[in-house]
Amino acid sequence: MVLDETTAASSAAVTGDATFSSTGSAFSGMPLQSLIHRVRETVAVVKNRSSGAIGLRLQGGSEDPDCVVTGVLPPLYPEWLGDRAFAEVHQTRFPYVVGEMAAGIATAQMVIEAARGGFLGFFGAAGLGLDRVERAISEIAGVLDVAPGKPWGSNLIHTPTELEMEDAVADLYIRKDVRRISASAFMSLTPSVARVAASGLRVDANGRINRRRFIFAKISRPETAAHFLSPPPSEMLDLLVSKGLITRQEARLAARLPVAEDITVEADSGGHTDNRPLVCLLPVILDLRDRIAAKFDYARPIRVGAAGGMGVPGSLAAAFSLGASYVMTGSVNQCAVEAGTSPAVKVMLAKADISDVMMAPAADMFELGVKVQVLKRGTMFAVRAGQLHRIYSEYSSLESIPAELRGQLEREIFRASFDDIWLDCGRFWQQRDPGQIAKASRDERHRMALVFRWYLGSANRWATGGDAARQLDYQIWCGPAMGAFNSWAGDSFLSDPANRGVVQIGLNLLEGAAVITRAHQARTYGVAVPSSAFSFRPRPLS
């Protein structure tokens, strides 16, 4: 990786009581910081014979008669921050995943650029029709599956109210031979996930089980993680065999493997989230992983990654120091030039602070009361969606809503009558899932839910499409990582949204994480590391 800048801290820089040179030792200030930031070079830890001060100097430079070498810090590369097995198995350069922002916000182009940059990217298939998902994965495959090929994946989201859609997407991924699938929002294991994980399993000439497809399970609770860390239940595998969806041999092999060998621990994040702090959640899941792996005596390791709050280099460094095999970014990529959302949304995101987010009802799990985290600055969506869910909880049907309240909703939120909204819902569900219309004809409360969900679903489309007339209703999935990123990127080249390419974002986060990791290493050797050494400013990287 090459920095597009003049090397920080020239040989003439003087700070405090130390002067930096390519051969001398540094004990404080800018000279010491400059050595710490040269992460790709071997640095010796030295101790001054007379004062006892501990500092650094470049390995291989002129000997310093006043100092004795007490340790060595070898080169440190961003590629090495995570589990090297992750890069080897998934054929990436970096332990870095670009997450599957729903509704196609993580575009095919974003996935392609991520792969070209050495990352693994997932297409944001959630909420899209089957035809659009198929077009996107065909576009990605046409670019990245050319020999020798680059890794990529797509999202499979749990849709409890549309299980047929979930099954259809799973079937599409098998037919189109999508090799990596990020399973998100699952509360338990479903047959669609078990089928994808089992399909294509075979034994090689050496007796080892080879996977055709890898499940990345995004979880935020131990009980959910346990489903993916364990083999699929035998009853579920038998059911899939009886339906002809997997072979008996695939079922036997699936019973010996975890559903997922890559578990993404999702802390406080944009979209579906339990708002858990990573420093509490990740160690718990790592311990659970080890216990379940020992129970089933797995032959291969299970990698555990970290997501949620990955907006600044320090967050990545912290995740890796906790034992994360890889990191996954989400919110920060929504403002990337490749993101499939409107320029208006990107401007709003670029102004967000860490406190400019709040929870709101989720469109896909509205009836269950599940929430997503969204941007609150510049939009009334979260407040209005919350009001709709309270009304849904209080009333049994659209007709039971008092006339005055109904009129307020139609004027201020829907800007149309309930009857007109229901006609629009009928057209939508007739194409996507006619069973929803049939259910609504029998269940007035379900009809109310579909009308209210119309607003939630439309709010995302207004945002991605940039409908200026509905800006106050924009639904923009966003976590506090976005505000942290903006604070870090301020007054740098990344403050300009035009420079926020997904690769530049990722390379800068990783480079900064390497610098902070090196600073921490030096401090553990007794070096009096200045606080400024834990800071990395964004710069163009290649």
Using CA atoms in the order 19, 314, 316, 334, what is the torsion angle rounded to 10 degrees?
-120
**Cα-atom radius of gyration of the chain, to the nearest Å?**
26
Q: Show Cβ contacts of residue 520 under 8 Å, excluding neighbours closer than 6 positions.
A: 317, 321, 534
Reference 104, options 157, 145, 148; nearest CA is 157
Q: Show Cβ contacts of residue 537 under 8 Å, excluding neighbours closer than 6 positions.
A: 492
Q: What are phi and psi of 294, to 5 degrees?
A: -70, -40
Q: In the 8-state DSSP scheme, what is residue 214?
A: E
Question: In the structure encoding, which two tokens stand for residue 96, read together?
Answer: 């870095």
Q: What is the pLDDT of residues 174-208, one digit of tens each?
A: 999 999 999 999 999 999 999 999 999 999 999 99
The answer to whether the beta carbons of residues 374 and 358 sit under 8 Å apart is yes
Name the pTM for this structure. Answer: 0.92
Reference 398, options 457, 444, 453; nearest CA is 444
pLDDT tens-digit profile, the chain (542 residues): 444 333 333 222 222 333 333 448 999 999 999 999 999 999 999 999 999 999 999 988 777 888 999 999 999 999 999 999 999 999 999 999 999 999 999 999 999 999 999 999 999 999 999 999 999 999 999 999 998 899 999 999 998 888 899 999 999 999 999 999 999 999 999 999 999 999 999 999 999 999 999 999 999 999 999 999 999 999 999 999 999 999 999 999 999 999 999 999 999 999 889 999 999 999 999 999 999 999 999 999 999 999 999 999 999 999 999 999 999 999 999 999 999 999 999 999 999 999 999 999 999 889 999 999 999 999 999 999 999 999 999 999 999 999 999 999 999 999 999 999 999 999 999 988 899 999 999 999 999 999 999 999 999 999 999 999 999 999 999 999 999 999 999 999 999 989 999 999 999 999 999 999 999 999 999 999 999 999 999 999 98
Q: What is the 3-state secondary structure (H, E, C) of 53-68?
A: CEEEEECCCCCCCCEE
Q: Show Cβ contacts of residue 393 under 8 Å, excluding neighbours closer than 6 positions.
A: none
The answer to whether the beta carbons of residues 20 and 9 sit under 8 Å apart is yes
Strand order through the sheet with 67-73: 54-58, 43-48, 67-73
The answer to whether the beta carbons of residues 350 and 337 sit under 8 Å apart is no
Domains and CATH numbers, the chain: 14-75+503-534 (no CATH), 80-341 (3.20.20.70), 345-475 (no CATH)
User: How high is the pLDDT of residue 15?
Assistant: 29
Q: What are phi and psi of 407, to 5 degrees?
A: -60, -40
User: How high is the pLDDT of residue 364?
Assistant: 87
How many other CB atoms are there within 10 angstroms of residue 399's CB atom? 11
Question: In the structure encoding, which two tokens stand for residue 137, read together?
Answer: 């994965």
Reference 373, options 360, 388, 356, 387; nearest CA is 360
Q: What are phi and psi of 298, to 5 degrees?
A: -65, 145
Q: What is the pLDDT of residues 465-489, one digit of tens each?
A: 999 999 999 999 999 999 999 999 9
In the three-class reduction of DSSP (H, G, I as helix; E, B as strand; rest coil), residue 196 is classed as helix
Q: In the 8-state DSSP scheme, what is residue 414?
A: I
> What proportions of the chain, in percent to the nearest 5, are helix, strand and coil?
45, 15, 40
